[in-house]
Amino acid sequence: MSMDPLVFRARALWQELAAEPGAAFGTPGRPTVLVAPGSALAPPSWVGVVTVGDGALITAPTDRAADASRSALTGLTTAALTDPAAVARRLPVADTLGPAALGYLAPDALRPIGRTTAATALLSPEHFALRALLTEAGSEDAGESGLADVTSPVFVVRGGTEVLAAAGYEHWPRDTAHLCVLTAPHARGRGLARQVAHAATAHALAAGLLPQWRARPPASRRVARALGYREAGRQLSVLPA
């Protein structure tokens, strides 16, 4: 049976990010566990768990952490591998990050957003108004958005000189566009995130890139689904105790 094209492309991305030759996703109940100190699946010294489709790939910073993860996590369902409570019952854990849902968009799947009440404009990633938006949103929301790291043009909706919502993407390996979206706290709930994210996603698709939407907040995941993104995986980072 042929693999879903979105799953195939997403797995190829995360296999490259594992930074270990021969990285491949395991099968249900038997995740692949690799020693990969240079992995981008998690912060340095953390164990990274990524599931795409029904398989999982786990990277660990040391042989000891890999052996412990392999022994503890083999046999868990694919869904349980990114459940912090399920992992903590099997593996001594000092801290976790996530889980985050991983959404991807097929080239013909972007949904229209209908009429908008404000125009979408274009700014460079270094524009001072974007820095002001990041400051206003606060460090937690700004960091979650990833907007400071975009490498594409940034699509915005403005209220006067203020940027109310902004979206762009960071170029990742394997021709992937990692979407970054942020709305000013006082402008949320008005559909502005969907408007700017639609423009950034369309730009990525026109460039032949695979749009990726990684999010933890339910509101962000709802925006992605409204645009046609399909959640195909999850990511969890674990700091062993």
3-state secondary structure at position 150: coil
Q: Are 62 and 239 in contact (CB under 8 A)?
A: no
> What pTM, to 2 d.p., does this model score?
0.94
Domain boundaries, the chain: 5-101+234-240, 121-207
- For the segment 62-96, what is each residue's pLDDT rounded down to a tens digit? 999 999 999 999 999 999 999 999 999 999 999 99
Residues contacting residue 128 through CB under 8 Å, at least 6 positions apart: none
Question: Alpha-carbon distance 173 to 178, whole Å?
Answer: 10
- For the segment 7-66, what is each residue's pLDDT rounded down to a tens digit? 999 999 999 999 988 899 999 999 999 999 999 999 999 999 999 999 999 999 999 999
Q: Residue 178: which pLDDT band, with cuts at 50, 70 and 90? A: very high
The CATH number of 121-207 is 3.40.630.30
Handedness of CA 199, 205, 207, 210 (dihedral sign): positive
